[in-house]
Amino acid sequence: MSLPESDHQLIVDELGREPTAAESTLFENLWSEHCAYRSSRPLLGAFDSEGQQVVIGPGDDAAVVAVPEPDAANTPVDDREAGDYSDTYITLGIESHNHPSYVDPYDGAATGVGGIVRDTMSMGAYPIALADSLYFGSFDREHTQYLFEGVVEGISDYGNSIGVPTVTGSVDFHADYVGNPLVNVACMGLTNEERLVTAEAQTAGNKLVLVGNGTGRDGLGGASFASEDLAEDAETEDRPAVQVGDPYTEKLLIEANETLVDENLIKSARDLGAAGLGGASSELVAKGGFGAEIDLDRVHQHEPNMNALEILLAESQERMCYEVAPEDVDRVAEIAERFDLGCSVIGEVREGNYVCTFDGEIVVDVDPEFLAEGAPMNDLNAVEPTEAERDLPVVDLEEAIEAVVSSPNTASKRWVYRQYDHEVGVRTALKPGDDAAIMAIRETSGDADDTTGGGTGLAFSSGANPNWTTAAPYEGAQAVALENATNIAAKGALPLTAVDCLNGGNPEKPDVYGGFKAIVDGLAEMCADLSTPVVGGNVSLYNDSETGPIPPTPTLAMVGSKAGYDAPPAALSGEGELLVVGQAGDALGGSEFLAQVGGSDAFPALPDNPSEIVETIAAVANRESTLATHDVSHGGLAVTLAELVTDEAGADVAVDGVVDLFDETPGRVVVETTDPDAVRAAFDGVAPVESLGESTDDGTLSLSIAGETVSYDAATIRAFRDVIASTFD
Amino acid sequence: MTVAVIQFGGSNCDRDAVRALNYLDIEAERVWHEDGLPEETTGIMLPGGFSYGDYLRAGAMAARSPIMAEVREAADDGIPVLGVCNGAQVGSESGLTDGAFTTNESARFQCEHVFLRVENADTPWTQAFDEGDVIEIPIAHGEGRFEITDERYDELEANDRILFRYCDADGNLTDEANPNGSTGNVAGILGDNESVAVLMPHPERSTLPDVGGTDGADILTGFRP
């Protein structure tokens, strides 16, 4: 890939001369789709990213959001006042590492984790939780299993080593990811008003200090590699564009960064990711309205004889660029040395142009604003998606239930999260395997050592559903947002904020761009309806290969808040009545059921009062009389009920028909309660409450569907749900 | 008095250990390995993590760092030393305890809750328990399979050096309850004297009452004088 001719002409006009080789490559990478969002930025205005909880919105390395005080954490966002937020902040960011994970699943996924963790660090935050949403081709393919195993191992080895728990996420399989899997990684960090750092350069004359790994030739051209379709021979041809991670160095960098923040030595910071040093340093100074003078010879390197272009663009991992006051440079170098990290003073913040010299010659001399913001936007054609009509097959009930419950999409993901250290940091109050994780933010109690549950619990959920967004991109994306909110509400928390990772195919294809546009609008619409500001995100296009485009995939990572960290489990106690709350859409479009048995249907209608429903679900989840809660989503009620059953507790349930059993409309939760009247009263005028039956003490799921009864004991259900582990172990 | 929680490059449970000890009113601080043991050290904890990236062999590099000579000396003087997870690997690599911890039978990292049976209740770490008690504690490791020669295993048993074994909820030592294929279901052992112990499970992760179980607290109280 090289610079398009129209871009080249624009640059020549601006510079008044031909760009140097280094400038040309710098523009190629920074003006790539991956860095400049040329095809997506015109669409991203749809997102509402403001709110009184938002401290820093989109555009920095990660967003920063204030955590509600515990006594306001159960109050809906729209009813809170500015004083309801504490000076404890979280950072939230999300990143895709899709193409690298196809070429080299282990390193591709591992460096995805490393990158988003450094985005967290550069805000002065300590990383406290990771969420991974992964998408692969059909599970039964051998190559899929190779990619899946490698990606999970890469995340596990890297995340575990650096001591950041991976607490939630999602795994989906769909035939259209076969030539291009997706690895979307979100990170939550913890900081506060005092420790906050931004990526906006502060003062001319301050030094630019590079700390971390030596620079080598690894990951050259990663940004432009991420901005074109995956070639047939990508696994061999594009391997040099994939970075290799070193979690040990990343952990040292985390410790060094903490010390630098403790001692207030950082004026601004940016991690080195896409487009390497050139990207990080030029964006840092441009954001502050400055230029820079950088001497590339001073960059510490781990390979000999590197040229200017390589030093500038290599995506060697585990490096941070800091703006440091001249008098603090020695102390920064001492701290780097203490943690065995390389450190070089590479230049300084200046007024004027962004200038790089190498071997005594000026190799880059450009207006940083033009470099950072000058990429022309693409105006692409979009074709609107069409909607399916109902054509449901006649099925054998038992076969259908077994197929849906044992599908890898709905199956237990324990094989995955058991490989992730999800408890390091001793904040994970609700662990993976439930609807959402809950992280204990004790700091808001006023005492960081409080262990009485007096702080704010942050619920964390991440995912999308390719079946939904394939069937109906717009409504499917709305459903993704509502589904994440429902996960959080089922554990008694209310949505606070979210970040998105928008994955699409080649946007130059009008139908692909039409689908992509629809997921952006759908996601934005539902997040606005839920009063949930979308404070940051990532766009990954050109997820396209010879096997075609991926399904449009809007991963949403959402955070909600509640007072304390306790939540009802997604497991029955055996002692209550079973209700399903929420508005069913009465359709099966995009369902796992249709994916298993064939046929078509419209996408289910979504409720028109989602915010009210989510708030009421959270209130019900927090009632003393609520014994268990679990949301209805992938696989519908059939899967929700199967997951609720344990060896000790079962369910005796009747529903009207197949549609009721497999309908996946989000915004619905199964509640086990000893006080059904109170649940009905809470939902009066909000959404329907249907009685499903009773929970029992026999560990058996007994389902009566339109008069036909089937039953499964816990061991049988466990065997159905064990398909992933039983394939690998 | 203070418990020194030794931080090597790559340690990642040092903060959690200090937090858990402080919760138990046991004074503790993180000590960077190059800084050496503080004068007033009254206990030493080798925390979990991936010291030196575990790049050679889990715990092997840290075991050869200068501070470990100080730790061995302190252990000989009767100062309590507890190695947890990577700290157990460091302890065994440095000869504080016998045997070795190596790759799990599954060849994968495993993070989950397990049951342990108390095998020796006559130690600082198990004084709150009776022999045969069953406790629930999380593990999180990829290299936790305890290995030792038959002869030395017999010696461990004969000398009552086995502290905990993996078991089921009822205390039975089954293969299913052994998460990593450890010889004799061994989860933790003692050094030459009872004040030195290493174990793969994480007591500091089951101490704070706001995030789950608290069975680990009674192990950490072994640091109390």
Contact residues, chain A, for B50 at CB < 8 Å: 160-161, 247-248, 251
> Which strands form A207-212's sheet, in the order they lie side by side?
A268-271, A319-324, A207-212, A342-350, A291-295, A354-358, A361-366
Put simply, the answer to whether B111 touches A252 (Cβ < 8 Å) is: no
Put simply, the answer to whether B13 touches A163 (Cβ < 8 Å) is: yes
Domains delineated in chain B: 2-223 (3.40.50.880)
- For the entire predicted model, the pTM comes to 0.96
Please state the φ and ψ torsions of residue B204, each to the nearest 5 degrees: -70, -15
- Indicate whether A629 pLDDT > 80: yes
Distance CA A533, CA A519 (A): 16
Token pair, residue A721, equals: 């749900």
Contact residues, chain B, for A453 at CB < 8 Å: 210
Distance CA A367, CA A388 (A): 51
SS3 B85: coil
A447 to chain B, any CB pair closer than 8 A? The answer is: no
A163 to chain B, any CB pair closer than 8 A? The answer is: yes
Token pair, residue B142, equals: 């990829």
A428 to chain B, any CB pair closer than 8 A? The answer is: yes
Token pair, residue A185, equals: 């990684």
B55 to chain A, any CB pair closer than 8 A? The answer is: yes
Which chain A residue is nearest to residue B34, measuring alpha carbons?
A: A338
Predicted local confidence at residue A437, as pLDDT: 98
Predicted local confidence at residue A236, as pLDDT: 65
Mean pLDDT (whole number) for A359-371: 95
Token pair, residue A622, equals: 């927090």
Put simply, the answer to whether A419 touches B110 (Cβ < 8 Å) is: yes
**Any alpha helices (H) in chain B, and if so which ranges?**
14-23, 60-63, 66-76, 86-93, 150-158, 217-220
User: How close, in Å, is residue A599 to chain B by CA atoms?
Assistant: 40
Residue among A117, A418, A420, A421 with most chain B CBs within 10 A, to mutate: A421
ipTM comes to 0.96
- Indicate whether A319 pLDDT > 90: yes
User: How close, in Å, is residue B218 to chain A by CA atoms?
Assistant: 17
Distance CA B197, CA B203 (A): 13
Distance CA A364, CA A366 (A): 6
pLDDT in tens, A523-533: 999 999 999 99
Catalytic residue among B13, B33, B85, B93: B85
**Confidence band, pLDDT 50/70/90 cuts, at residue A384:** confident
Mean pLDDT (whole number) for A699-723: 95
Q: Where are the beta strands (DSSP E) in A424-552?
A: 428-430, 437-441, 456-463, 494-503, 534-540, 544-545, 548-549
- Indicate whether A221 pLDDT > 90: no
Predicted local confidence at residue A228, as pLDDT: 76
**Confidence band, pLDDT 50/70/90 cuts, at residue A240:** low
Closest CA relative to residue A597, chosen from A688, A659, A532: A659
A421 to chain B, any CB pair closer than 8 A? The answer is: yes
What H or E segment, with its residue span, contains residue A528? helix A510-529
In this structure, are residues A518 and A504 in contact, taking their beta carbons and an 8 Å threshold?
no
Put simply, the answer to whether A248 touches B212 (Cβ < 8 Å) is: no
* Cβ neighbour number for residue B125 with a 10 Å cutoff: 27
Strand-pair category, B28-32 with B2-7:
parallel
In this structure, are residues A122 and A269 in contact, taking their beta carbons and an 8 Å threshold?
yes
Contact residues, chain B, for A252 at CB < 8 Å: 9-10
**DSSP result, A580-601:** EES------TT-HHHHHH--B-
Please state the φ and ψ torsions of residue A663, each to the nearest 5 degrees: -60, 130
A453 to chain B, any CB pair closer than 8 A? The answer is: yes
Distance CA A540, CA A553 (A): 10
In this structure, are residues B211 and B23 in contact, taking their beta carbons and an 8 Å threshold?
no
Put simply, the answer to whether B210 touches A442 (Cβ < 8 Å) is: yes
A246 to chain B, any CB pair closer than 8 A? The answer is: yes
Predicted local confidence at residue A464, as pLDDT: 98
Q: Is B149 exposed, middle or buried (0-12, 13-18, 19+ CB in 10 A)?
A: exposed
Q: Please, which residues bridge with residue A322 across strands? A: A209, A269
Predicted local confidence at residue A488, as pLDDT: 98
Put simply, the answer to whether A418 touches B110 (Cβ < 8 Å) is: yes
Mean pLDDT of chain B: 96
Q: How far is CA A497 from CA A49, A454, A484, A537, B98, in A?
A: 9, 22, 11, 12, 51
Q: Which residues contact A633 (CB under 8 A, 6 or more apart)?
A: A465, A483, A486, A487, A639, A640, A664, A666
**Confidence band, pLDDT 50/70/90 cuts, at residue A251:** very high
Q: How far is CA A426 from CA A172, A257, A325, B12, in A?
A: 29, 21, 35, 11
Closest CA relative to residue A317, chosen from A256, A273, A277: A273
- Give the rounded distance of the alpha carbon of A662 from its chain centre: 27
A160 to chain B, any CB pair closer than 8 A? The answer is: yes
What H or E segment, with its residue span, contains residue B28? strand B28-32
Put simply, the answer to whether A423 touches B205 (Cβ < 8 Å) is: yes
Put simply, the answer to whether A417 touches B111 (Cβ < 8 Å) is: yes
B25 to chain A, any CB pair closer than 8 A? The answer is: no
User: How close, in Å, is residue A492 to chain B by CA atoms?
Assistant: 16
Predicted local confidence at residue B142, as pLDDT: 96
Mean pLDDT (whole number) for A658-670: 97
What H or E segment, with its residue span, contains residue A126? strand A126-136
Mean pLDDT (whole number) for A17-45: 91
Q: Which of A417, A418, A565 sits opposite B211 (nearest CB)?
A: A565
* Cβ neighbour number for residue A544 with a 10 Å cutoff: 21
**Confidence band, pLDDT 50/70/90 cuts, at residue A237:** low
| B202 catalytically annotated | yes
User: How close, in Å, is residue B214 to chain A by CA atoms?
Assistant: 12
Closest CA relative to residue A161, chosen from A130, A139, A138: A130
B56 to chain A, any CB pair closer than 8 A? The answer is: no
* Cβ neighbour number for residue B22 with a 10 Å cutoff: 14
Put simply, the answer to whether A162 touches B32 (Cβ < 8 Å) is: no
Half-sphere exposure of A197 (CA within 13 A, CB side): 32
Residues of A catalogued as catalytic: 34, 97
B176 to chain A, any CB pair closer than 8 A? The answer is: no
**Confidence band, pLDDT 50/70/90 cuts, at residue A223:** low
Q: How far is CA A679 from CA A197, A602, B225, in A?
A: 45, 30, 53
In this structure, are residues A484 and A462 in contact, taking their beta carbons and an 8 Å threshold?
yes
Q: Which of A163, A449, A450 sits opposite B49 (nearest CB)?
A: A163
Put simply, the answer to whether A157 touches B109 (Cβ < 8 Å) is: yes
Put simply, the answer to whether B111 touches A251 (Cβ < 8 Å) is: no
For chain A, percent of residues with pLDDT exceeding 70: 98
B175 to chain A, any CB pair closer than 8 A? The answer is: no
Determine the number of helices (DSSP H) and then strands (DSSP E) in chain B.
6, 11
Closest CA relative to residue B111, chosen from A420, A701, A16: A420
Which chain A residue is nearest to residue B52, measuring alpha carbons?
A: A248
pLDDT in tens, A158-186: 999 999 999 999 999 999 999 999 999 99
Contact residues, chain A, for B60 at CB < 8 Å: none
- Indicate whether A707 pLDDT > 90: no
Q: What is the CA radius of gyration of chain B?
A: 16
Mean pLDDT (whole number) for A695-723: 95
Residues of chain B with confidence (pLDDT) below 50:
none
- Give the rounded distance of the alpha carbon of A243 from its chain centre: 20
Q: If contacts are CB pairs under 8 Å, which of residues 97-116 in chain A contact chain B?
A: none
Residue among A164, A250, A424 with most chain B CBs within 10 A, to mutate: A424
B203 to chain A, any CB pair closer than 8 A? The answer is: no
For chain A, percent of residues with pLDDT exceeding 90: 90
User: How close, in Å, is residue A429 to chain B by CA atoms?
Assistant: 4
**By mean pLDDT, which of A305-309, A521-525, A712-716, B109-113 is the weakest?**
A305-309
Contact residues, chain B, for A423 at CB < 8 Å: 111, 138, 140, 202, 205
Contact residues, chain A, for B12 at CB < 8 Å: 161-163, 251, 424
